[in-house]
Amino acid sequence: MKAAIVGGSGYTGGELLRLLLGHPEVEVTQVTSDAMAGRPVGRAHPNLRKATSLAFVPRSALVPADVTFVATPHGESRTFVPELLATGGLVIDLSADFRLKDPAQYARYYHVAHPRPDLLAASVLGLPELHREALRTTSLIAVPGCIATATILALRPLAAAGWLGDRTVVVDAKSGSSASGRDAGPAGQHAERSGAMRAYAPAGHRHTAEIEQETGARVALSCHAVEAVRGVLATVHAFVDRPVDDKELWRTYRAAYGAEPFVRIVHETDGLHREPEPKILAGTNFCDLGFASDPADGRVVALGALDNLGKGAAGNAVQCLNVRAGWPETTGLEFLGLHPV
Partner 1 sequence: MTECPECAATVANHDLILGEVFPCPDCGTELEVLATEPFAIQPAPTEAEDWGE
The contact set with partner 1 (CB under 8 A) reads 246-247, 250-251, 254, 265, 267-271
d(CA 39, CA 45): 11
- What is the closest distance, in whole angstroms, from the C-beta atom of residue 112 to partner 1 in the complex? 46
Phi, psi of 325 (to 5 degrees): -85, -10
- What is the closest distance, in whole angstroms, from the C-beta atom of residue 153 to partner 1 in the complex? 18
Beta bridge partners of 31: 5, 56
- What is the closest distance, in whole angstroms, from the C-beta atom of residue 265 to partner 1 in the complex? 7
Nearer to partner 1, 198 or 274 (CB): 274
Nearer to partner 1, 271 or 326 (CB): 271
Active site residue ranges: 146
Q: Which residues contact 142 (CB under 8 A, 6 or more apart)?
A: 93, 96, 97, 98, 99, 123, 124, 125, 126
Nearer to partner 1, 190 or 247 (CB): 247
d(CA 233, CA 176): 9
| Distance set, CA 38 to CA 15, 80, 336 (Å) | 20, 22, 34
As a dihedral over the C-alpha atoms of residue 121, residue 123, residue 124, residue 125, rounded to 10 degrees, the angle is: -100
Phi, psi of 286 (to 5 degrees): -80, 145
Nearer to partner 1, 253 or 262 (CB): 253
Long-range contacts of 97-105 (CB under 8 A, 24+ apart): 97/142, 98/123, 98/140, 98/142, 99/123, 99/125, 99/142, 99/143, 99/144, 99/145, 99/148, 99/210, 99/213, 100/209, 100/210, 100/213, 101/213, 102/213, 105/209, 105/213
Phi, psi of 37 (to 5 degrees): -55, 135
Phi, psi of 233 (to 5 degrees): -125, 115
Helix axes 246-257, 146-160, angle to 10 degrees: 120
| Three-class secondary structure of residue 6 per DSSP | strand
Nearer to partner 1, 182 or 251 (CB): 251
- What is the closest distance, in whole angstroms, from the C-beta atom of residue 278 to partner 1 in the complex? 20
| Distance set, CA 131 to CA 66, 261, 288 (Å) | 21, 15, 19
d(CA 308, CA 315): 9
Nearer to partner 1, 200 or 250 (CB): 250
Nearer to partner 1, 237 or 267 (CB): 267
Beta bridge partners of 70: 6, 93
